[in-house]
Structure 1
Amino acid sequence: MHAIDPAAFRHAMGRTAAGVTVVTSDGTHGRVGVTVSSLSSLSLEPPSVLFCLHRDSRCLPVLLSNGVFAANILAQGQQRVADSFAGLVPELREDRFGAGEWDGLTTGAPLLQGALCRFDCRLAEVFDYGTHRIITGEVVAMETHGEHPLVYSNRSYRRLEVA
């Protein structure tokens, strides 16, 4: 078996296209958020999603302690929100939530107004794998708006073309 070079693996995976999601949480342990490209549906019954975070993520302990999160799938034009929660907007590093307007549905987790899809979730299960933790959540409320997702591929935001 050949060893896979981590840098080559990262480069190859970066060539794929992914939707951009900001995962947020709020509760007695604080308010946090982070940009992820790993959101996926998990099950229809019960309706649930999963995403992955690095074990060293500053958001992880707060999110797990709060026990709730929102998955905000970004729409085209919301690059600044994605960049803010990725820590790439210097003036918003102290208040990443300043990049958008927020409200809530059921759990109190911050939901981005104008996001393509908004999933309000209760933490379900957490699994360890390699350098990451796989976080699952049961969707307790959701909304959809618009038609065009923000897409990321090859280290750039992209637009979907309709054939």
Structure 2
Amino acid sequence: MVSEEPGGWIHRGDPFATPEADRSPVRRLRGRLAAGITVWTAYGPRGPVGLTVSSTVVADGEPARLLGLVDDESALWDGLTAGRFAVAVLAAADRQVADRFAGLMPAPGGPFREGDWVETGYGPVPVGATWAGCRVDGTRPYGWALLVEATVEVAELGASLPPLVHYRGRYRTLSD
């Protein structure tokens, strides 16, 4: 439904969204599972690269493991082939970081140009972030992406801030 308001047209929904009848039930199921937003970074052949990733699972153990689904056509993929990467947990205030690394927001000069970053042996991470340094153990095609299996070699805890989550196609924050 569209209504005319002073200054232009206002849409009650996303005018570009796939009509509900045409949406995949599996994709809709996945959308109803809240997922934490992370940024994976690595050092590629031409410098640091990164990607927003919500398909991330961490398994405690000896050694701790991390699994994730990554688009093999992303700039991050070139960096992952070097065998090491960092995963930073994004906080509620990091929506623009998530959008820049997802390619949804302009990033003149690259996504690392904005904000404060710390260089690590795995990839750059936002200053003060909770992050993990990982070693790639293997990759394989898995559904629409590549499954990355990794060993967590370093885990650094930053401030305990409410995480940014993805739920039903939008970024959300947790509230008690």
TM category (shorter chain) comes to: 0.7 to 0.9
Note closer, same or farther for the CA distance 1:9–1:99 as it changes in structure 2 (3 Å cut). farther
| Residues 49-94 of structure 1 deviation map (CA, whole Å, 9 limit, x = unaligned) | 111112333421x12322110000111201111011011112x054
Give the residue type in structure 1 aligned to 2:117.
W
Cα RMSD (Å): 2.0
Matched, 1:143 2:156: yes
- In the alignment, what sits opposite 2:80? 64
Check conservation: 1:119, 1:143, Cα contact below 8 A: yes
Structure 1 length-normalised TM? 0.83
Deviations 1:127-159 (A, max 9, x none): 222332111222222211222111111122212
**Counterpart amino acid of residue 151 in structure 2:** E
Question: Aligned residues, how many?
Answer: 154
Partner residue in 2 for 1:44: 61
| 1:19 CA drift (Å) | 0.4
In 1, are the aligned partners of 2:132 and 2:154 still within 8 Å (CA)? Answer: yes
CA contact (8 A) 2:42 2:50 kept: yes
Aligned ranges 1:3-152 → 2 under 5 Å: 7-28=24-45, 30-60=47-77, 62-90=78-106, 92=107, 94-105=109-120, 107-115=121-129, 117-147=130-160, 148-152=162-166
Gap runs ≥5 in structure 1: none
Consecutive unaligned residues in structure 2, runs of 5 or more: 1-21
Identity rate, percent: 35
Distance 1:111 1:70 in 2: 7
Provide the TM-score with structure 2 as the length reference.
Answer: 0.78
Bigger Rg over Cα: 2
